[in-house]
Structure 1
Amino acid sequence: MTGRLLAIDTATTACSVALFDDNILIASEYEEIGRGHAEKLIPMIAALPGKGRSDRIIVNCGPGSFTGVRIGVSAAKALGLAWGVRVDGYQCLSLVAAQARQILDQQVPICVAMAAGHGEFFVQNFDGPGLAIDALASLSPAASRDHAKSNIIAGSAARALAEGLANGEFHEILPNAAKSYLLLQEMKQLKSKPIYGRQPDAKPTVAV
């Protein structure tokens, strides 16, 4: 699909946006801010050429921060409605795996580990070409080490996981919207709804 594409990524402590024209990156913004994505995101989009106006929008649907994921998806859908354009999603760990392969400059199996809260990691294994070979899981550090199918670990929790592996190699990476072009096309066509990866901390009260 050609034309202008706006990518939005607020699923982690990083906040980033990128504008592509016929798959060529023309402008981007990236900051590691921790919190405050709601205040930062719209000004970042407005600073892009044409205020980020595009023919299609893609957004990081998670997993990651519950708040960050909701902010990104909500903003993408609001802009999509205002501009009358399609909004698709991509999965956080898939992008981190793609960024790691670019850094390594070779197609090798990679295990992605992202901080998931409550001392757990979001973990998923990817093959050399970048396809997931198992389902996303939220696991304890010990279970994550058993789950890893590669000693090359990428992501925000990469150091913590790799240190428990024999010959573990880590690459601390946060997703960056400007790198979304690295994803295979089908990976950028997910439904634009949050991927939380685990159950919410707060559960609704059931009347008795």
Structure 2
Amino acid sequence: MNGAGAGRGQSNLIALLERGLVVDEQVLSGRGASERFAPTVQAMLTRAGWDAPPELVAAVVGPGSFTGLRASLSLAAGLVRGWGCRGVGVRLGDALRATMQQEEATILCLARRGRIFVDPPVYDAYALPVKQIQPGSWAAVAGDAVYGDDALPELSESAGGDVLGREVVRLPYAAPTAEGIFRAACRSSESGSVRAYALEPLYVDPPEAKPPAGGLRPTPR
């Protein structure tokens, strides 16, 4: 499950897999995509005829859309509790690297207010303005900030973006596939080569909402 990009492009998906192969898959996009996660799962389970609980629920934990992450991960956590199965959260960058089988790629994804999320293969993800990008030793990059309909002109090779420079390879992937998410989850469980996360949002950018100037109301008695 991936809800990290809810409301943008074709990056959000829910899929059912058996032995690593996709049985059913639904791509969600546009406004209100996060509201369709739960009914989509129910419809897919019915179509697939899955009566027994799955062995694993894997979901992208971020970085990404606040709304999409909250909706998809609360659903994933609820399914894990209801089914009594394993749940594994994976970082967006790890899932996309597993999709491409490019372990050294740095993932650049859209954030808010002219910023991007940078998800490197070794360090924690972080956010920064596009103009402050310093590719340094980056050999290759991917993600919806670089490739696809929503790619930023400053980073898109087709638009003549030069922030990254000509030496950085832009890989043609905007979001992870279902198989990539599954592979990343398996690697985190089996070899430990990918860090496993709880099914909770990985927030990199600070929230836009602020407490009221007069403070919060007291807890009802």
TM-score range, shorter chain: 0.7 to 0.9
Residue 200 (1) aligns with residue 193 (2) = no
Q: Distance in 2 between matches of 1:91 and 1:38?
A: 18
Report the number of matched residues: 188
Aligned to 2:31: 35
Residue 178 (1) aligns with residue 179 (2) = yes
Are 1:19 and 1:28, in contact at CA under 8 Å, matched by a contact in 2?
yes
Are 2:99 and 2:179, in contact at CA under 8 Å, matched by a contact in 1?
no
Instruction: Write the deviation string for residues 47-104 of structure 1: whole angstroms up to 9, x where unpaired.
Output: 1421784122121111111000001111111112221223221111211222233xxx
Aligned to 1:149: 137
- Cα offset, 1:193, TM superposition: 0.8
Aligned to 1:62: 62
Aligned to 1:140: 129
Aligned to 1:165: 164
- Cα offset, 1:36, TM superposition: 2.0
SS in structure 2 opposite 1:75?
A: helix
Larger radius of gyration between Structure 1 and Structure 2:
2
- With the length of structure 1 as denominator, give the TM-score of the two structures: 0.78
Question: What percent identity do the matched residue pairs reach?
Answer: 24
Distance 1:143 1:20, change over 3 A: same
Aligned to 2:116: 121
**Unmatched runs of 5 consecutive residues or more in structure 2:** 216-221
- Cα offset, 1:32, TM superposition: 4.7
- Cα offset, 1:196, TM superposition: 1.4
Q: Distance in 2 between matches of 1:72 and 1:100?
A: 23
Which protein has the bigger strand share? 1
Aligned to 1:81: 81
- Cα offset, 1:117, TM superposition: 1.1
**Unmatched runs of 5 consecutive residues or more in structure 1:** 1-7, 102-106, 126-131
- Cα offset, 1:198, TM superposition: 1.2
Q: Distance in 2 between matches of 1:17 and 1:176?
A: 10
Aligned Cα root-mean-square deviation (Å): 2.4
Are 1:123 and 1:138, in contact at CA under 8 Å, matched by a contact in 2?
yes
Are 1:111 and 1:148, in contact at CA under 8 Å, matched by a contact in 2?
no
Which protein has the bigger helix share? 1
- With the length of structure 2 as denominator, give the TM-score of the two structures: 0.74
Instruction: Write the deviation string for residues 130-153 of structure 1: whole angstroms up to 9, x where unpaired.
Output: xx2222110111222x04532421
Distance 1:66 1:137, change over 3 A: same
Amino acid at match of 1:11: A
